[in-house]
Amino acid sequence: MTPSPVGQETVRVDGRLKVTGTAQYSGDYPAANMSHAYLVTSTIARGTVSHIDTAAALDAPGVLRVYTAGDTRLSLYPVVAQFRSLVESYIPLSDTAVRFHGQAIAMVVAESFEQARDAAALVTVTYDEQTPRASFADEPREPAGPALDGSPSSVQHLAPGVNSIDEALDASEVVVEAEYGQQTQHQIGMEPHSVLAVWDGDQVTVYSGAQIPTVHSLLLSQRLGVLPTQVRLVGRYVGGGFGSRVILWSDAPLAAAAARELGRPVKLTFTREQMFTLVGHRQQASQHVRLGASRGGVLEAISHRTDSVMPVIGGFNLTPAHATSDTFYSTPNLHIEVRSVRLDMPLSRAMRAPNEAAGAFALETAMDELAVATGVDPVELRLRNYATVSPSTGLPWSSKHLDECYRDGARRFGWSDRSATPRARVDGQWLYGTGMATAAYPAGVHPVSVRIRLLDDDTAVVSTATSDLGTGGWTMVAVVGADALGIPVGRVTPEIGDSALPSGAPAVGSSATHSTVPVVVAAARNTIAALKELAVTHSGSPWHGLNAEGLRWEEGRLHGGEHSMTFGELLTELGSRGVDATADSPGGAPEEYEYNSFGAHFCEVRVNRFTGETRVTRFTTVADAGRVINARAARSQIVGGVVFGIGHALLEHNPIEPATGRLAASTLADYLVPVNADIPDIDVHLLDRPDPHLTGPLGDEGEEVGTRSLGARGLGEIGTVGSAAAVGNAVFNATGTRIRRLPITPDKLL
């Protein structure tokens, strides 16, 4: 019997291609007669372009075109209102308005990248400059728009007889109140955004990384003013997204429009510095948290107010409390409020665990402060406030084993050896401390379509236009397809990352896996049924004329009567190259539950008492993310998320210059991210408990169909949620100094 690959240590099916350099990323695709584009960006944050001198650039060697702000040759158009949240709020190079420092205001196209770059440096620009709105402290606060799920920005639930959250807090025996802050953060995937646009008549193929390929191709068709059927987007390998490739930015429209006008392929690659201003960021925020509790640490009230930047040109509405304070703990009184500060900054967008990472730092630091104030152990404090239903909706969780995460994590980490007294453990120059925090992340289910084709060489092709950002999507599709068909993974070829394929799950919100799994199972069921139908209707089949229900599928073979054949043998016998079928899901899950993944982080740090240098020395994460599809990739995703959290805690920030509106650390020399030397071995344990309410297709009699992989939930982002707080809480335990504004740098500890 072929063992199920689900939950095993499956090597990535695309691994060899990547490590040998064979995998083609967006910037690797060739094209005959290809030209290269380079952007000129603004050096002011607010105003208009009064004049652009392009004469020297046009005279430079190899230059083919210089497109400038207000240029009509590109012929770009607005998208319909339904999709405006998935594009920039203005059409690139359509007018002379400057909305932020680093905006594209001209584009040079030349025979080579170097010629385009050098010519771009010859473009000179004169501005009518205005003073930018660039001070977070000085601009007014205004009510924010709705959260990502459409819920209002302000939410309040009060116990009977309680008139206000202030009244609930005043009645609490212990109150913790503090302000928590963070600066602008960036996704900065390893692969810069790169686009190659190739026209063939009125059809354009765009090679570009995208987290939602089918939506990107649709949006691009609207920007170009052509039919959706005229645009194909290919992005099979993507070097990181983290939210930066969710919406359609200026790169694909500009490259495709220039290629159309020029009559030859155009490649446009953002520089690393341009990546900091042209593809989104997580905005600066300040969070005011108040916790009211009994002396025994039982929560009686949570108030969580956020002030965050909303760029004047629009962007992602940061709502950190909505997925943390209304999710993590049970409380009879809850108040959430979100306000915006309007600044002249680049468009903000989702960044890995967009609301949850920021919100968890504030809430979980406040919970650690409550543990200190009440004298209750931080793990015990969380167990005393364990939420068995959603605090805001009152609905039960579809599956929750967070208490097990706490206990397993504490045991694996050695939490019982911890001293609650700061500065209790000293080794020479180093102060050691430990901290922990909770993680939770929603598990949304998106519409998906999957096609499976069985071929006459006994292999199968599983096709769906999801995207693999380096997260393991290729292997996930292969593993689930192999499990559903009962054949080895090596006999399954996944096809993803192409808008021409059946519409796939968005690679956003840690949702691609659990949205895709049940539809692959359904497609396998339909394809097997199609093969059986072929077997009983084709005159050359040994089962011709029989009832298809009398045939049995097992491990890639059809059995019936005295005959048994693999699907490849049958197809060869019938002279057929293959048989296929599709399955579709509208998305969504039963509305009587709330769907989340959960986890617990445990961290040890050492802090140099003379220099303030902080090093993470141990880290343990236990996660409850439903059924694990690929154990190797799952652990890798958790590790990557924790690395994000460590960077969030100790290194990452990009302050805005109030006088100029410039993001001051927009290079990898100035914007620091963790490297190998900053990260210890990270211990990851996955509970592997299937979610019974995220099951997928069932048979006519209610039985599971064809797989043991049902009940998967997302885990790509949960490692990021709470890990920064675990680091910060460990720093407090080591030093006795509470740092409430990230990052935790040496100057704040001295």
**Amino acid identity for residue 719 in this structure:** G
Active site residues: 717
Read off the tokens for 328: 């993590």
At 354, give phi and psi (nearest 5°).
-60, -45
Per-residue pLDDT at 589:
87
Angle value at C-alpha 88, between 182 and 342, nearest 5 degrees: 40
* Contact status, residue 478 vs residue 512, Cβ threshold 8 Å: no
Q: Which H or E element spans position 285?
A: strand 285-293
Q: Which of 446, 475, 443 is nearest to 462 (CA)?
A: 475
pLDDT the model gives residue 237: 97
Looking at residue 245, what DSSP letter applies?
T
Number of Cβ within 10 Å of residue 570's Cβ equals: 26
CB-CB contact of 94 with 106 (8 Å): no
Q: According to the model, what pLDDT value does residue 700 have?
A: 57
- Report the pLDDT value the prediction gives residue 697, as an integer from 0 to 100: 52
The tokens for 404 are: 């097990």
Question: Residue 708: its pLDDT value, please?
Answer: 46
Structure tokens at 38: 């380079």
Nearest alpha-carbon partner for 686 in 595, 593, 600, 594: 600
| Averages of pLDDT over each 10 residues, the chain, 750 residues | 89 96 96 98 98 98 96 95 94 97 98 98 98 96 86 91 98 98 96 98 98 97 98 97 97 98 98 97 97 98 97 95 94 96 97 96 98 98 97 92 98 97 97 98 95 98 97 96 95 98 96 94 95 97 95 96 96 97 92 95 98 98 96 97 98 96 96 96 96 68 52 93 98 98 97
d(CA 189, CA 238): 9
pLDDT computed for residue 698 by the predictor: 47
CB neighbours of 740 closer than 8 A, spacing ≥ 6? 178, 179, 180, 181, 365
Tell whether omega for the bond before 746 is within 30 degrees of 0, i.e. cis. no
Domains and CATH numbers, the chain: 15-21+445-585 (3.30.365.10), 31-131+187-278 (3.30.365.10), 285-444+591-749 (3.30.365.10)
pTM, to two decimals = 0.96
Q: Which pLDDT score, from 0 to 100, does residue 203 have? A: 98
| Residue in the structure block whose two tokens are 């969780």 | 397
Rounded to the nearest 5°, which phi and psi values hold at 725? Answer: -65, -40
Per-residue tokens: 202: 């009125």
Sort residue 509 into left (φ over 0), alpha (ψ -120 to 50) or beta. Answer: left
**3-state SS of 638-706?**
HHHHHHHHHHHHHCCCCCECCCCCCECCCCCCCCCCCCHHHCCCEEEEECCCCCCCCCCCECCCCCECC
First CA to last CA across the chain, in angstroms? 63
**What is the DSSP pairing of strand 596-608 with strand 578-585?**
unpaired
Q: How far apart are CA 344 and CA 129, in angstroms?
A: 13
